[in-house]
A and B are shown apart, each in its own frame.
Chain A
């Protein structure tokens, strides 16, 4: 079957999709977006977390066909997504999904020149920068899913308590860090977000 949906603000199409294929498989193997990770394929680890119409989901548990006509944000689009949200003055009180890219914006979308050698010129979402700064990245396999989940939480709840952070990220397994630096990163991103809002 053919499946058409929006990924990171850009209309995408996949042909010859087998009925059993997951959204994760289509993203990784058909659309060249391997940022979302496959670590358990049964919705336990959160490594494949993406936003589907604004809602964080395990893309391994979403059949590709279910995504027809809908809007997906992956880790690859997180920086753009956060930038647009910031430009629109944040959307903590808006309905889920309203931060998605408009059709008009989607048409104007073009690939960002990224320096994959140094990353020096790469625009990052605040949560991405905070993960680097706080030492929340070790092997990094859980990182994409955690970033998408943490970014979504900070959108809903800009001033989370520690218990709020733990609750929101409890569906994302990490085996390297013991989560402390992840807590630091989310607190840091929240603090920076708060500072930016006051300016």
Chain B
């Protein structure tokens, strides 16, 4: 349990709070306007102290008396028949308690999946990708478990692999899933296509004839890994009632539960899940990893079982960002107005569906970018292949599209002969614009303003490496301490990009959250307790929930209960949705609690003062006050020994599915916008890139916690930088095997690779959202990548139609 006692730690006055975000000024006296530590303040994390002392219990830190260690045996090949599995020698190893294969699964439910249940818990006669789980072992020491797993003899007969669109749809191509009966099979042209979403609007051919300039491009986006630092892990403890208690790091407890329980043959109330400390997520924990395996071993052995992936296994243990091929055609008049857009986006979903259908919907519906375009012809598909499964990652389909359409914008601006930023501003969408889906954008969409702001930020000085004095500080140069240049061959480039991301689950999904809020007097003080199943993965939801409770209930003390399945679903910590949706649920539950508290007050004290009946009543500073500021009662006296508790589901406005032929429909809840300016310096002789600065302007609607908001923007920006210049899972096209599953070979940005990231936060309220807020976590990951690519193109004059860019792409060695 984490308790936040605000007073000393929560006001944020001690830290160098650099947030420049304007804090909304209330026009009238409203609930919580005078509450310390409420929304709009940079209160500090309630889990901060535990995290800096090493006491915060991550899922990999769980320990239980008599606990065993689980280990997964994974396929060394991408596609094969399993002819036989011999577990005898492994089972005979001293210290080994269980070895389980497909044949040991206890019920008829042997697959799981987010939308389509196509993923085997353990391989059944066939493996479809490199690293697929085949068998699981429990032993009394992790090394014993590893060695025992290595003694399992599996006989594979390799099959031909499908690795791209051509091989997946070739005549006679092996089918990944022959017996598909999911609801997408009826509208795809080949069983190796998971889902297809076209969007057609207007008359593209007629609009094309109006174009003075037509620009075409073929773009390639590499496979990115979430690379959260805390590998998949958890502890399953068998319970006396035949159920199991599971402590795990995930993004959505109730989604896990819905997939786990049927495989175990247990009712959901016998699988009790508690969120353990989560070491980052970024989409990589939406799918199950070790959850079912740990439960199976625990129930089989009757002992607690812990599973912790190492980094190597983590690269195989979760889905990645879809690599993509994108073909775009845009037209513009000589005045620089966009005429039309045609595009085809091919996402590689790998062996299992995961979130591919929703990623397709996003890629298609956001393919146009934040621009006014009335005549479009869009198609997005996801493939089944023998490549690693791909699914959710921060940006979710919108990232790949943004990389391509922003490259197109630069090419078009150049063709027209306009400034690249002005060209974007001329075509920028705004509130009221119709999306290609026919959905009208009905809240602020300050695209041109964000570009203006990011362009207006001061430029970093030239040749910073000389700032130290006459000697070049090589740490400021491409190549850094490798001392590869003192400035010779180094050229600077500047690039801009802007993007659009949806917030919340789309396409008609019932995207609700639940919050339970309790108010009572503890130790002579009114205390609010907030209980949700929201997965705190680092984003700071727990901080914000406490702020909302303080604002809505006028208390100083808020206790945040651990997230578990003893309360209703909070939905996923993804799609930039938690502050909006679970934050909205907490706000709503607090409002209901407040009404009940005031009702008790009216009952007890109503006869003493007429204002109880006539005035608007607020909870402020632990008291009931009128909107004129008159104190009517202390909450301690109102509540006495009574506790008020409310648990309620809360929903944002509903969305609709996209039409399967036209793509029309009000599919999204809210849109989120960010713009970037990248400044790079490139050593053109060696192809080394130094990103000097990556400035961002973003509209956040309302910054509930400015410090956290800026942290999200800077973190998202850096992940976009990673896919621009370094991050890519390399899959061998001949064997579909992963070649770089380690932090030695898969590089994420270090503090040396990451530039300063000045952030300009705009707060234009969305009237449909709680407090006017806008989901913010993903938008900065979109425009960061194309801005860096544009800057490198600007520096080098090269086309660069793929990301990430590697040195060989810059020195014509590839």
A100 CB-CB contact with B under 8 Å: no
With A41-B311, A163-B473, A188-B15 given, is the CB distance from A135 to B228 under 8 Å? no
Q: What 1/0 mask marks residues of chain A from 110 to 121 whose CB sits below 8 Å from any chain B CB?
A: 000010111110
Find the A residue at minimum CB distance from B742: A42
Q: What 1/0 mask marks residues of chain A from 127 to 160 whose CB sits below 8 Å from any chain B CB?
A: 0111111110111111110010000000000000
Tell which of B50, B55, B757 touches A180, judged by Cβ atoms closer than 8 Å: B757
Tell which of B57, B229, B710, B750 touches A139, judged by Cβ atoms closer than 8 Å: B229
Tell which of B16, B50, B61, B714 touches A133, judged by Cβ atoms closer than 8 Å: B16
A102 CB-CB contact with B under 8 Å: no
With A169-B751, A182-B751 given, is the CB distance from A122 to B229 under 8 Å? no
Are A44 and B743 in contact (CB-based, < 8 A)? Answer: yes
Inter-chain CA distance A174–B714, complex, in Å, is 12
Give the B interface residue count (CB, 8 A): 78
A189: min CB distance to chain B, Å: 11
B463 CB-CB contact with A under 8 Å: no
A34 CB-CB contact with B under 8 Å: yes
Q: Which of B34-55 contact A (CB under 8 A)?
A: 42, 44-45, 47-55
Are A163 and B229 in contact (CB-based, < 8 A)? Answer: no
B631 CB-CB contact with A under 8 Å: no
B196: min CB distance to chain A, Å: 33
B744 CB-CB contact with A under 8 Å: yes
Are B748 and A173 in contact (CB-based, < 8 A)? Answer: yes
Are B54 and A76 in contact (CB-based, < 8 A)? Answer: yes
Are B54 and A141 in contact (CB-based, < 8 A)? Answer: no
A6 CB-CB contact with B under 8 Å: no
Tell which of A42, A119, A147, A170 touches B751, judged by Cβ atoms closer than 8 Å: A170
Inter-chain CA distance A119–B473, complex, in Å, is 42
Inter-chain CA distance A90–B743, complex, in Å, is 36
Are A178 and B14 in contact (CB-based, < 8 A)? Answer: no
Q: Which of B709-729 contact A (CB under 8 A)?
A: 710-711, 714-719
Tell which of B226, B717, B752 touches A170, judged by Cβ atoms closer than 8 Å: B752
Are A179 and B3 in contact (CB-based, < 8 A)? Answer: no
* B310 neighbours in A (Cβ, 8 Å): 38, 40-41
A48: min CB distance to chain B, Å: 11
* B742 neighbours in A (Cβ, 8 Å): 40, 42, 44
Find the A residue at minimum CB distance from B743: A44
Tell which of B42, B278, B475, B717 touches A163, judged by Cβ atoms closer than 8 Å: B475
Are B54 and A35 in contact (CB-based, < 8 A)? Answer: yes
Tell which of B8, B308, B751 touches A166, judged by Cβ atoms closer than 8 Å: B751
Are B538 and A138 in contact (CB-based, < 8 A)? Answer: yes
A45 CB-CB contact with B under 8 Å: yes
* A184 neighbours in B (Cβ, 8 Å): 16, 18
* B752 neighbours in A (Cβ, 8 Å): 166-167, 170
* A174 neighbours in B (Cβ, 8 Å): 229, 751
* B143 neighbours in A (Cβ, 8 Å): 18, 20
Are B540 and A138 in contact (CB-based, < 8 A)? Answer: yes
Tell which of B5, B229, B719 touches A120, judged by Cβ atoms closer than 8 Å: B5
Are A117 and B54 in contact (CB-based, < 8 A)? Answer: no
Tell which of A33, A122, A183 touches B49, judged by Cβ atoms closer than 8 Å: A122
B20 CB-CB contact with A under 8 Å: no
Find the B residue at minimum CB distance from A130: B15
Find the B residue at minimum CB distance from A140: B51
B58 CB-CB contact with A under 8 Å: yes
Find the A residue at minimum CB distance from B464: A163
Are B311 and A132 in contact (CB-based, < 8 A)? Answer: no
B707 CB-CB contact with A under 8 Å: yes
Q: What 1/0 mask marks residues of chain B from 517 to 559 whose CB sits below 8 Å from any chain A CB?
A: 0000000000000000000011110000000000000000000
The residue in B51, B57, B715, B750 that gathers the most chain A C-beta atoms within 10 A of its C-beta is B51
* A47 neighbours in B (Cβ, 8 Å): 229
Are A175 and B710 in contact (CB-based, < 8 A)? Answer: no
The residue in B5, B56, B537, B716 that gathers the most chain A C-beta atoms within 10 A of its C-beta is B56
Are A142 and B229 in contact (CB-based, < 8 A)? Answer: yes
B708 CB-CB contact with A under 8 Å: yes
The residue in A37, A42, A172, A176 that gathers the most chain B C-beta atoms within 10 A of its C-beta is A176
Classify the interface of chain A: helix, strand, loop or mixed. Answer: loop
Find the B residue at minimum CB distance from A47: B229
Q: Which of B50-71 contact A (CB under 8 A)?
A: 50-58, 60-61, 63
Find the B residue at minimum CB distance from A128: B52
Are B51 and A179 in contact (CB-based, < 8 A)? Answer: no
Are A144 and B15 in contact (CB-based, < 8 A)? Answer: no
Inter-chain CA distance A150–B475, complex, in Å, is 18
Find the B residue at minimum CB distance from A76: B54
Tell which of A120, A138, A188 touches B715, judged by Cβ atoms closer than 8 Å: A138
Are B228 and A38 in contact (CB-based, < 8 A)? Answer: no
* B537 neighbours in A (Cβ, 8 Å): 139
A197: min CB distance to chain B, Å: 19
The residue in B3, B5, B12, B52 that gathers the most chain A C-beta atoms within 10 A of its C-beta is B52
* A135 neighbours in B (Cβ, 8 Å): 15, 17, 42, 44, 707-708, 710-711
Q: What 1/0 mask marks residues of chain B from 279 to 314 whose CB sits below 8 Å from any chain A CB?
A: 111100000000000000000000000001011000
* A170 neighbours in B (Cβ, 8 Å): 750-752
A39 CB-CB contact with B under 8 Å: yes
* B3 neighbours in A (Cβ, 8 Å): 117-118
* B55 neighbours in A (Cβ, 8 Å): 35, 76, 114, 116
Are B743 and A42 in contact (CB-based, < 8 A)? Answer: yes
Inter-chain CA distance A22–B670, complex, in Å, is 49
Are A140 and B710 in contact (CB-based, < 8 A)? Answer: no
B317: min CB distance to chain A, Å: 14
A55 CB-CB contact with B under 8 Å: no
Tell which of A28, A36, A141, A178 touches B280, judged by Cβ atoms closer than 8 Å: A141
Inter-chain CA distance A17–B393, complex, in Å, is 40
B231 CB-CB contact with A under 8 Å: yes
Are A178 and B718 in contact (CB-based, < 8 A)? Answer: yes
Inter-chain CA distance A174–B14, complex, in Å, is 24
* B45 neighbours in A (Cβ, 8 Å): 132, 137
B426 CB-CB contact with A under 8 Å: no
Are B227 and A175 in contact (CB-based, < 8 A)? Answer: yes
Q: What 1/0 mask marks residues of chain B from 737 to 756 whose CB sits below 8 Å from any chain A CB?
A: 00000111000111110101
A59 CB-CB contact with B under 8 Å: no
Tell which of B12, B281, B538, B749 touches A140, judged by Cβ atoms closer than 8 Å: B538
A85 CB-CB contact with B under 8 Å: no
Are B711 and A120 in contact (CB-based, < 8 A)? Answer: no
* B279 neighbours in A (Cβ, 8 Å): 37, 39, 139-141
B751: min CB distance to chain A, Å: 4
B772: min CB distance to chain A, Å: 22
B481 CB-CB contact with A under 8 Å: yes
Tell which of A117, A131, A138 touches B52, judged by Cβ atoms closer than 8 Å: A131
* A99 neighbours in B (Cβ, 8 Å): none
Inter-chain CA distance A47–B54, complex, in Å, is 11
Find the A residue at minimum CB distance from B52: A128
Tell which of B52, B227, B278, B715 touches A178, judged by Cβ atoms closer than 8 Å: B715
B576 CB-CB contact with A under 8 Å: no
Inter-chain CA distance A114–B54, complex, in Å, is 12
* A147 neighbours in B (Cβ, 8 Å): 52
Inter-chain CA distance A37–B51, complex, in Å, is 11
Tell which of B4, B49, B711, B717 touches A132, judged by Cβ atoms closer than 8 Å: B49
5 further contact pairs, Cβ within 8 A, besides A140-B538, A178-B757: A33-B54, A34-B58, A37-B60, A39-B229, A174-B751
A-to-B contact residues, CB < 8 Å: 18, 20, 28-29, 32-42, 44-45, 47, 74-76, 78-79, 114, 116-120, 122, 124, 128-135, 137-144, 147, 163, 165-167, 169-184, 187-188
B-to-A contact residues, CB < 8 Å: 1-5, 8-9, 12, 14-18, 42, 44-45, 47-58, 60-61, 63, 141, 143, 226-231, 277-282, 308, 310-311, 468, 473, 475-476, 481, 537-540, 707-708, 710-711, 714-719, 742-744, 748-752, 754, 756-757
Can you list 10 A-B pairs with a CB-CB distance of less than 8 A?
A: A28-B61, A34-B63, A35-B53, A38-B308, A38-B310, A39-B229, A132-B45, A133-B14, A140-B538, A180-B754
Nearest first, the 7 A-B pairs at minimum CB distance are A35-B54, A119-B49, A139-B538, A133-B15, A140-B51, A141-B279, A178-B714
